[in-house]
């Protein structure tokens, strides 16, 4: 909520999201003379891909990112193994919706609480109606009527019937309910045309849940059906895994507030909005803090106070340059590792555990498309760990690529696409745009991420690729 304007001291949004992979990688015709520049120029980092390697562009020097490049899995593993599982909390059942049950809910009650008719009919003694037929019906005296909700206990003896509605208490002495349509429907005397087996159409107390048995287990996601069951066993509160509190902050001297008209070189802060929405979508209680202040002391205060009130800090903005103020202040709060992760878009990602309580802090790139991709890859699974979920990752499917896909060798590439069901079964996926620019408008049209593995440089049209549907509703 606090703007810091563009004072020019902090280099900002510096990602490689916007690379034109189709033109910039060796796997495609490069409109450049041979020998191909990527092959001809010695590349210190050992990268295979011209367009990804930024170490050659001075300044900042390559030394600004001291750690060697690491794989997506390595970075993800580091995050997932370090995020804590917050302690369970007790919530009102309706507030527990969407969370995981964190206790073994043992019912103190029987469900149903009393023997009851399972349908409308007559409660009778099975013995009295045994062998009845339409030709030779059993004739019984109707001694009363019970509807659901009436509490007066009743009873029958031999030769008697009691009219009952579904859900009504079974009169003492009765052991079966004869469905109304098996009778003549009499009100004083009833003719029963068939005798059900003893116990038929009777719901016994505890049939659904017996006292002392578990109604809802630890780890069960609480949806409407679980809320129904919890309420039925008398629980208005339940222990659950809480939503992790995620503070979302943006870094970058080029950033201005959404309501401000950006001046030359300035960019509106979109990441604090988009990442807060994504965090909420993943199950977190997300707070959008906004643009980090440019003043050192104030910056330090903001970060410290957010560390105190959050389970996870999420910062967007590339901070991997020398002399970056945010990076410096983070370093004062604890060990923060900036890494070149072999992914595209990316590649600069960071993770650390800072402050007195070692709160996990994840930094994602400042370029908005790269920020949301990094969220999918690293942050969403981390939030799900904190929620106690077993299924951390989105389901992926194999889909037929509608077009040729190119990808830099050694980098895992995430492309936005439109996945559709194939008329003959399975899925087809179409990458959005020309694969060159990382565009917000294209991302907004996507319904999936296409994942091209590190060792693949080309997927032919008609070939199979891995697709991660994003399930944004509609």
Going by DSSP bridges, is the β-strand pair 412-421/448-452 parallel, antiparallel, or unpaired? Answer: antiparallel
The HSE-up count of residue 389 (CA atoms within 13 Å, CB side) is: 21
Which residues share a beta bridge with 32?
A: none
- Out of 1, 63, 81, 259, the residue judged to bind a second copy by CB under 8 A: 259
Q: Are 42 and 405 in contact (CB under 8 A)?
A: no
Q: Which of residues 453-472 bind a second copy (CB under 8 A)?
A: 470, 472
280 binds a second copy (CB under 8 A): yes
- Rank residues 193 and 353 by Cβ distance to a second copy and give the closer one: 193
- Rank residues 314 and 354 by Cβ distance to a second copy and give the closer one: 314
207 binds a second copy (CB under 8 A): yes
- Rank residues 333 and 377 by Cβ distance to a second copy and give the closer one: 377
Q: Which of residues 230-249 bind a second copy (CB under 8 A)?
A: 230-232, 234-236
CA distances from 5 to 1, 83, 288, 371 (A): 12, 33, 18, 21
User: Minimum distance between the CB of residue 102 and a second copy, rounded to whole angstroms?
Assistant: 14
Q: Are 204 and 211 in contact (CB under 8 A)?
A: no
- Out of 27, 89, 143, 227, the residue judged to bind a second copy by CB under 8 A: 227
Q: Which of residues 373-412 bind a second copy (CB under 8 A)?
A: 375, 389-391
- Rank residues 15 and 311 by Cβ distance to a second copy and give the closer one: 15
- Rank residues 236 and 424 by Cβ distance to a second copy and give the closer one: 236
Q: Residue 281 contacts by C-beta under 8 Å, 6 or more apart in sequence?
A: none
37: left (phi over 0), alpha (psi -120 to 50) or beta: alpha
Using CA atoms, how far apart are residues 175 and 157, in angstroms rounded to an integer?
11
Q: Which of residues 45-104 bind a second copy (CB under 8 A)?
A: 47, 50-51, 53-59, 93-94, 97-98
Using CA atoms, how far apart are residues 426 and 430, in angstroms rounded to an integer?
14
Q: Which residue has the tokens 């709060």?
A: 333
User: Minimum distance between the CB of residue 121 and a second copy, rounded to whole angstroms?
Assistant: 5
15 binds a second copy (CB under 8 A): yes
Q: Residue 360 contacts by C-beta under 8 Å, 6 or more apart in sequence?
A: 79, 82, 83, 84, 311, 312, 313, 351, 352, 353, 382
Instruction: Give CA angle at 372 (369, 375), nearest 5°.
Output: 150
Q: Which of residues 101-140 bind a second copy (CB under 8 A)?
A: 109, 111-114, 118-122, 131-134
What are phi and psi for residue 246, nearest 5 degrees? -115, 120
Longest dimension (CA), the chain: 105
Using CA atoms, how far apart are residues 233 and 216, in angstroms rounded to an integer?
10
- Out of 40, 67, 127, 460, the residue judged to bind a second copy by CB under 8 A: 40
- Out of 66, 158, 265, 323, the residue judged to bind a second copy by CB under 8 A: 265
Q: Which of residues 327-366 bind a second copy (CB under 8 A)?
A: none
Q: Residue 384 contacts by C-beta under 8 Å, 6 or more apart in sequence?
A: 282, 283, 391, 392
Interface stretch with a second copy, choices 217-225, 307-315, 328-336, 458-466 (CB under 8 A): 217-225
For 101, the token pair is 């049950």
Among 84, 99, 394, 383, CA closest to 219 = 99
- Out of 3, 20, 82, 285, the residue judged to bind a second copy by CB under 8 A: 20
Using CA atoms, how far apart are residues 36 and 50, in angstroms rounded to an integer?
10
Q: Which of residues 167-196 bind a second copy (CB under 8 A)?
A: 167-169, 179-183, 185-187, 193-196
User: Minimum distance between the CB of residue 226 and a second copy, rounded to whole angstroms?
Assistant: 5
Q: Residue 356 contacts by C-beta under 8 Å, 6 or more apart in sequence?
A: 307, 308
- Rank residues 83 and 448 by Cβ distance to a second copy and give the closer one: 448
Q: Which of residues 142-171 bind a second copy (CB under 8 A)?
A: 145, 147-153, 163, 165-169
- Rank residues 226 and 352 by Cβ distance to a second copy and give the closer one: 226
User: Minimum distance between the CB of residue 41 and a second copy, rounded to whole angstroms?
Assistant: 6
Q: Which helix (H) or strand (E) holds 179?
A: strand 176-179
- Rank residues 72 and 132 by Cβ distance to a second copy and give the closer one: 132
288 binds a second copy (CB under 8 A): yes
441 binds a second copy (CB under 8 A): yes
For 445, the token pair is 């049209």
User: Minimum distance between the CB of residue 24 and a second copy, rounded to whole angstroms?
Assistant: 7
Q: Residue 35 contacts by C-beta under 8 Å, 6 or more apart in sequence?
A: none
User: Minimum distance between the CB of residue 62 and a second copy, rounded to whole angstroms?
Assistant: 9
- Rank residues 86 and 180 by Cβ distance to a second copy and give the closer one: 180
User: Minimum distance between the CB of residue 463 and a second copy, rounded to whole angstroms?
Assistant: 20
- Out of 72, 215, 302, 419, the residue judged to bind a second copy by CB under 8 A: 215
């Amino acid at each position: 909520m606090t703007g810091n304007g563009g004072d020019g001291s902090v280099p900002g949004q510096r990602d490689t999201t916007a690379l034109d992979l189709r033109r910039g990688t060796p796997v495609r015709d490069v409109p450049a003379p041979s020998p191909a520049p990527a092959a001809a120029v010695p590349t210190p980092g050992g990268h295979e891909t011209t367009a990804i390697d930024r170490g050659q562009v001075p300044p900042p020097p390559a030394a600004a990112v001291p750690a060697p490049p690491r794989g997506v899995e390595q970075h993800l593993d580091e995050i997932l193994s370090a995020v804590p599982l917050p302690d369970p909390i007790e919530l009102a059942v309706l507030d527990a919706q969407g969370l995981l049950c964190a206790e073994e809910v043992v019912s103190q009650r029987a469900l149903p609480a009393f023997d009851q008719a399972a349908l409308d009919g007559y409660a009778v003694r099975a013995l009295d109606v045994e062998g009845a037929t339409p030709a030779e019906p059993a004739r019984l005296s109707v001694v009363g009527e019970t509807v659901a909700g009436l509490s007066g206990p009743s009873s029958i003896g031999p030769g008697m019937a009691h009219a009952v509605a579904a859900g009504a208490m079974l009169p003492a002495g009765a052991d079966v309910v004869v469905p109304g349509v098996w009778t003549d429907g009499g009100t004083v005397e009833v003719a029963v045309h068939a005798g059900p087996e003893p116990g038929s159409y009777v719901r016994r107390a505890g049939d659904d849940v017996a006292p002392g048995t578990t109604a809802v287990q630890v780890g069960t996601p609480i949806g409407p059906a679980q809320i129904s069951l919890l309420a039925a066993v008398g629980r208005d509160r339940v222990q659950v895994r809480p939503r992790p509190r995620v503070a979302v902050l943006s870094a970058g001297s080029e950033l201005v507030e959404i309501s401000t008209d950006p001046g030359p070189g300035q960019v509106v802060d979109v990441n604090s909005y988009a990442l807060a929405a994504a965090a909420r979508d993943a199950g977190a209680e997300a707070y959008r803090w906004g643009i980090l202040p440019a003043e050192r002391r104030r910056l330090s205060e903001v970060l410290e106070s957010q560390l105190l009130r959050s389970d996870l800090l999420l910062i967007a903005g590339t901070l991997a340059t020398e002399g970056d103020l945010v990076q410096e202040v983070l370093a004062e709060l604890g060990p923060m590792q900036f890494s070149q992760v072999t992914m595209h878009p990316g590649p600069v990602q960071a993770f650390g555990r800072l402050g007195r309580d070692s709160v996990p802090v994840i930094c994602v790139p400042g370029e908005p498309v790269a920020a949301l991709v990094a969220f999918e890859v690293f942050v969403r699974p981390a939030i799900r760990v904190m929620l106690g979920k077993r299924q951390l990752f989105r389901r992926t499917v194999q889909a037929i690529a509608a077009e040729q896909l190119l990808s830099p060798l050694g980098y895992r590439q995430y492309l936005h696409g439109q996945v559709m069901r194939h008329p003959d079964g399975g899925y087809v996926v179409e990458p959005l745009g020309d694969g060159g620019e990382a565009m917000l408008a294209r991302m907004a049209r996507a319904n999936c991420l296409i994942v091209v593995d590190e060792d693949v440089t080309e997927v032919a049209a008609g070939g199979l690729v891995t697709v991660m549907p994003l399930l944004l509703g509609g």
